[in-house]
Amino acid sequence: MFDKLKEYLGVLNSFSFTMSQITNHSLAIDTLRISEARYRSLFENIDQSVIYLDAAGIVVAVNKAAEQLLGLPRDITIGRKFVDSCVKVIKEDGSNFPEEQQPSVVALRTGKPVEGVVMGLFNPEQQNYLWVVVNSVPEFRAGERQPHQILMTLTDITRQKQSEGKLSMASVIFNNIGEGIFVTDKDKKIISVNEAFIAITGFTHQDVYGQNAHFLQSKKNSIKIDDELNGLAGPVNNWQGEVWRRHKINGDFPSWTTVSEVKDASGEVAHYVHVFMDITHFKKAQDHLGFLAYHDPLTKLPNRLLLKDRIDHSLQNALREGSQAAVLFLDLDRFKGINDTYGHAVGDGLLREAAKRIKNLVRKEDTVSRYAGDEFVVFMENIPDAKNPAKLARKLIDTFNAPVYIKGYRLKMSTSVGISLFPQDGHDTETLIKNADAAMYRAKKEGRNNFQYYSLELTSEAFEKMSMECALRQSIERHELILYYQPQVCLKTGKLVGVESLVRWMHPTLGLISPKQFISIAEESGFIVALGEWALQNACTQMIRWMDENLYVEKMVVNVSAIQFLRSDFVATVERVLRSTGLDPCYLELELIGSGFMDNSEHTIKALNQLVALGIDLTIDDFGVGCFSFNNLKRIPVKKLKINGSLVVDMLSNINDEDITRALIALGHGLHLQIIAMGIESQAQQNRLMELGCDQGQGHLYSSPVLPWANIFRKLSE
């Protein structure tokens, strides 16, 4: 074998494996026999990677260069097929290289040299591919037509392939990136553009080739890129900024551009690369965001920020000139009811109409702002006298009284207006708005649809209300809320049929406070949601305790505000409380308070039906008081109506109250509903209600509201 090796090493040293040299190998063999040891050393230490395979494709010899190139010890490679020594062999296109197509196999099969084949050999140690050029030369014995072994040489071209890959990737990126790119020579002449450039500018490569880079710049630019680049220093210079560019058809457009210098090996500038993007939409979005930062998106009116800025500026002028100004704070009366009944789309339409009516009445120099929700603020600068804002307030009230038509609905709205004056009622924006707001609340208390000026007395009243709200929000965590319980009885049998839970607040300084003093504050602030969930949780827990003590009652009655109920998660909240307490839904009765339950929305009907499906009974509280639709009553799945106590109190002495009570009982029974009357304080009232057909009663005649440990069960049985 080494005789033949010596012959082919001579061929290898010439780096030309031609057929003529192979047939004339006898002279080389004679020469190599002079010193076999020397050629063994040459085979082992030559820089060229050499591998010998026998006629079966089995590796029989591997030199040190090949061992290092492959990253495989020769004792692993020798004795195996070459293809079996590599985990994976691939072609240049990344596909698998079939064994029958590999150069050594082809050379053995055809008896002809196979040269210049590129193969990718997976290197398990480095976990990447080794790229080599393979030459396979068959060797014949005298008189034989089939080769008895193959000489393989492998040349490492991995770095070259990696460079080609990088160039290919750069080309792909250049042509497929979304940003426009054009390259100039050192004299700023355009020599190349990508596809995105053509799409963004409308100019083709032929349109701009050889043109100076200035050709693409708009006259709108206030900067010169050349001047900017000349001011830079360093090994890699670049500049970026906003540049207006030309479009072939559509006119100029703003772009964000980065220009980079590319230097050659000597450090001289060879090219400039311009990368840019069209920022037209970004600029529009930026302008829109700038508008939204200072305006209400629904009404397009100035928002709080812009309002404050304008008032601050005007007050400085007013102080300097000694003039007066006024702030009018408007709130739409009963807007929430309209919004809840007809939906947010109608509510938004109403707000836009309100903004339009206000704008039509104010002076050009006045500022109209949507302050929050259904609240608007008008700032009047340089008013002639303190009475002038009242004239505008009256006009506003009158224009709001005109009907509004939104999405086919004829709506009636009104507004309450509060007025504060500069400098009498405050010297800064915040104080003037706060005092106008306080005056607006007085207008609400005076019956709505009117205006009020600010007064010091009102400020004190507003402060007390704010303090009460703050303390109320802390009442749950401070354990200041208490549930009292009042029994409900069957008028015919006197049997206890239910217990209504009634919340009280043990204020740390004011003592025990009734719901009349804090429920409205809880509803206005939104705290009623947390308060209602607390009451439901504790009432259900108390019901379980009574059951554990073998004290049974048919229903635990819990009041539910319309504000609680109209939340989308109310039914889920009730289910969660029932699960956590373990109370069967059949023992729970929810008493619905407020006209919000009487709207015609599908959400309301769906939620009420979901509660009934759970097994919960529903009662409408204060029946006979307030406004509701009898037509809607037929759609609401309630079981009981509660007659307001104000009708019961004077029923025996006022024939009108008795007639109303009789009619309400008849109406309820006509709808197959039970009737319970609250506020029963005497046996005579009970007897008359029984004569009128009332089913159940509640009041001091049976028991005043008591704490849970008071034995109301025993008292009623006595």
Give the per-residue pLDDT at 22: 39
Query: Helical H runs in 64-129?
Result: 64-70, 74-77, 82-85, 103-110
Q: Alpha-carbon Rg of the chain, whole angstroms? A: 47
The tens digit of pLDDT for each residue in 84-107 reads 777 688 888 778 888 888 898 898
DSSP states of 208-238: HTT-BGGGGB-TT----HHHHHHT--SSS-E
Which tops the pLDDT comparison, 438 or 457?
A: 438
Pairing of strands 481-490, 696-698: antiparallel
Residue 450 exposed, middle or buried by CB count within 10 Å (0-12, 13-18, 19+)? middle
Q: Which helix (H) or strand (E) holds 6?
A: helix 2-13
| Average pLDDT of the segment spanning 653-667 | 90
User: Minimal CA–CA distance to 595: which of 628, 617, 564?
Assistant: 628
CA 395, CA 397: separation in Å to the nearest integer? 5
Check whether the bond before 423 is cis (ω within 30° of 0): yes
Which tops the pLDDT comparison, 334 or 577?
A: 577
Task: Please give the share of the chain, as a percent, with pLDDT higher than 90.
Answer: 35
Q: Which helix (H) or strand (E) holds 309?
A: helix 304-321
Give the per-residue pLDDT at 628: 52
Residue 297 exposed, middle or buried by CB count within 10 Å (0-12, 13-18, 19+)? exposed
| The token pair that represents 568 in the structure block | 């989308």
Give the per-residue pLDDT at 427: 92
Pairing of strands 481-490, 496-507: antiparallel
CA 357, CA 523: separation in Å to the nearest integer? 29
**pLDDT band per the 50, 70, 90 thresholds, residue 229:** low
Give the per-residue pLDDT at 26: 44
Give the per-residue pLDDT at 92: 80
Is pLDDT above 60 for 363? Answer: yes
pTM given for the model: 0.47
| The token pair that represents 326 in the structure block | 């006024």
Is pLDDT above 70 for 33? Answer: no
The tens digit of pLDDT for each residue in 290-346 reads 777 788 889 999 999 999 999 999 999 998 888 999 999 999 988 888 888 888 889
Phi then psi dihedrals of residue 309, to 5 deg: -60, -45
Q: Which helix (H) or strand (E) holds 415?
A: strand 415-422
| The token pair that represents 107 in the structure block | 């050379």
**pLDDT band per the 50, 70, 90 thresholds, residue 596:** low
**pLDDT band per the 50, 70, 90 thresholds, residue 21:** very low
CA 83, CA 61: separation in Å to the nearest integer? 15
**pLDDT band per the 50, 70, 90 thresholds, residue 44:** confident
- Of 308-317, 438-447, 502-511, 588-597, which range is least confident? 588-597
**pLDDT band per the 50, 70, 90 thresholds, residue 541:** very high
CA 349, CA 31: separation in Å to the nearest integer? 106
CA 501, CA 700: separation in Å to the nearest integer? 15
**pLDDT band per the 50, 70, 90 thresholds, residue 213:** confident
The answer to whether the beta carbons of residues 9 and 35 sit under 8 Å apart is no
The answer to whether the beta carbons of residues 346 and 407 sit under 8 Å apart is yes
| Average pLDDT of the segment spanning 175-181 | 78
CA 622, CA 715: separation in Å to the nearest integer? 27
Which tops the pLDDT comparison, 89 or 178?
A: 89
CA 496, CA 714: separation in Å to the nearest integer? 10
Q: In one letter, which amino acid is 422?
A: F
Pairing of strands 617-623, 588-593: parallel
Alpha carbons within 13 angstroms on the beta-carbon side of residue 557 total 27
Angle in degrees, 0-180, between the axes of helices 36-45 and 2-13, rounded to the nearest 10:
60
Detail the DSSP E strand segments found in 100-198. Answer: 114-123, 128-139, 149-156, 180-185, 190-193
Q: What angle do CA 315, 423, 369 make, to 5 degrees?
A: 50
Domains and CATH numbers, the chain: 2-158 (3.30.450.20), 177-283 (3.30.450.20), 295-454 (3.30.70.270), 472-717 (3.20.20.450)
- Of 44-58, 117-131, 635-649, which range is least confident? 117-131
The answer to whether the beta carbons of residues 601 and 636 sit under 8 Å apart is no
Is pLDDT above 70 for 129? Answer: yes
Give the per-residue pLDDT at 224: 67
| Average pLDDT of the segment spanning 569-587 | 95
- Of 5-19, 232-246, 345-359, 360-374, which range is least confident? 5-19
**pLDDT band per the 50, 70, 90 thresholds, residue 635:** confident
Is pLDDT above 90 for 239? Answer: no
The tens digit of pLDDT for each residue in 76-87 reads 888 888 777 776
CA 591, CA 372: separation in Å to the nearest integer? 32
Average pLDDT score over the chain: 84
DSSP states of 579-640: HHHT--GGGEEEEEESGGGGS--HHHHHHHHHHHHHT-EEEEEEETSS---HHHHTTS--SE
DSSP states of 391-441: HHHHHHHHHHHS-EEETTEEE---EEEEEEEETTT-SSHHHHHHHHHHHHH
Give the per-residue pLDDT at 716: 54
Is pLDDT above 70 for 38? Answer: no
CA 468, CA 699: separation in Å to the nearest integer? 29
Is pLDDT above 80 for 488? Answer: yes
- Strand order of the β-sheet with 451-453 is 367-372, 375-383, 324-332, 415-422, 451-453
Task: Return all residues near 16 (Cβ < 8 A) that are at least 6 apart.
Answer: none
